[in-house]
Amino acid sequence: MNLRGLFQDFNPSKFLIYASLLLFSILLALKLDGVIQWSYWAVFTPLWLWKLLVVIGASIGTGVWASNPRYRVEGETHVEFKAMLIAVTIHILLLMFEVLVCDRVERGSYVWLLVFMPLFFASPMSVAACVWGFRHDRSLELEIMCSVNILQFIFIALRLDKIIAWDWLVVCVPLWILMSFLCLVVLYYIIWSMLFLRSVDIIAEQRRTYVTMAVSWITIVVPLLIFEILLVYKLDGHNKLSYVSLFVPLWLSLVTLMASTFGQKGGNHWWFGIRKDFCLFLLELFPLLREYGNISYNLQHDDSDTYEETRAVPEPLKVAPMFFHKGVEIMPFPEKYFDPPPKLSLDIPD
């Protein structure tokens, strides 16, 4: 087992996001079912911790950037630093939205359009961030989600303020469009994985990669779609499922996303000013893990291999030449000829 190989493709940023969303969804389901009587400020604790780590990480990264000018000329350091600033700006707007949601639910004194105002600002900024990320070959998944859901945010705010009286099934039309696109992506991976499995010109590793991606997309998109359908029918009053049962498909998707972070190498190196891969930073921070990571072993043991290694190998037999033919020694092995040594002539005096 190679510990370094386990963490070398680990993406801690995405793992933090998915873990926070998973814990928050569990607490929210328990709160809505009345299992726990906490306030919404306590239910949102995983999201507060997520945003707190983002702010602390960005602050430390900014301090390292400001105090070490020589770091600014290393490769694409300035691009990663700008990406970190964009991400922390979006996170601050999300934090403002979450604070307003908690205050609105606890007090109920102002309209929901005001609560959603940070998201209305975050969506155009996310569009600009996506354009910038495309130009600099940066992956901005959170910004993409904020930019494509701006119409959905508006519909939800209008529905909560009862400005529109549509069913939730109609309110979530932008969400259905987005999920249709994701279903097409799933279908694409399924078709390509089936073609690769039937092809004899594709190596086994590529087949395994496409099959793994297809299974991952299925276990992410399909449960997420089921959760959204059940939630819409719950809000419209068409089913009486508990919220815990309703959130189970969402938890399956989030667990799959958390598992996928171990194969998604990436992440901004300027968070907390580490300036290196998370694996290297972790191994340098804990020398014990570094010493353990240098040891690899195989859990499978084959007795036949041990027997082959310990068995004495006989020395090759030395076979004398069989006969001479025109001054060439012919050995008993085919296609192997050796020139005879030169004749030694001795002059004997008379």
Greater pLDDT, 333 or 50:
50
CA distances from 245 to 44, 211, 248, 316 (A): 20, 29, 5, 73
Provide the 8-state DSSP code for 98. Answer: H
pLDDT of the residue at 79: 79
Query: Whole-angstrom Cα distance, residue 319 to residue 316?
Result: 9
pLDDT of the residue at 110: 84
pLDDT digits (tens, 9 = 90+) for 248-262: 999 999 999 988 887
Single-letter amino acid code for the residue at 338: F
pLDDT digits (tens, 9 = 90+) for 273-312: 676 666 666 666 666 656 655 544 444 444 444 444 444 4
Query: Whole-angstrom Cα distance, residue 156 to residue 162?
Result: 10
With 60 as the cut, is the pLDDT of residue 151 above it?
yes
Query: Whole-angstrom Cα distance, residue 43 to residue 98?
Result: 11
pLDDT digits (tens, 9 = 90+) for 109-144: 889 999 999 999 998 888 888 888 888 777 777 888
pLDDT digits (tens, 9 = 90+) for 175-203: 999 999 999 989 988 888 888 777 777 77
- The full DSSP string for 20-73 is HHHHHHHHHHHHHTTS----HHHHTHHHHHHHHHHHHHHHHHHHHHHH-GGGGG
With 70 as the cut, is the pLDDT of residue 220 above it?
yes
Rounded to the nearest 10°, the torsion over CA 17, 18, 19, 23 is 100
What residues does each domain of the chain span?
9-288
Q: Backbone phi, then psi, for 343, in 5-degree steps?
A: -70, 140
Query: Whole-angstrom Cα distance, residue 49 to residue 42?
Result: 11
The percentage of residues in the chain with a pLDDT greater than 90, rounded to a whole number, is 37
pLDDT averaged over the chain?
A: 78
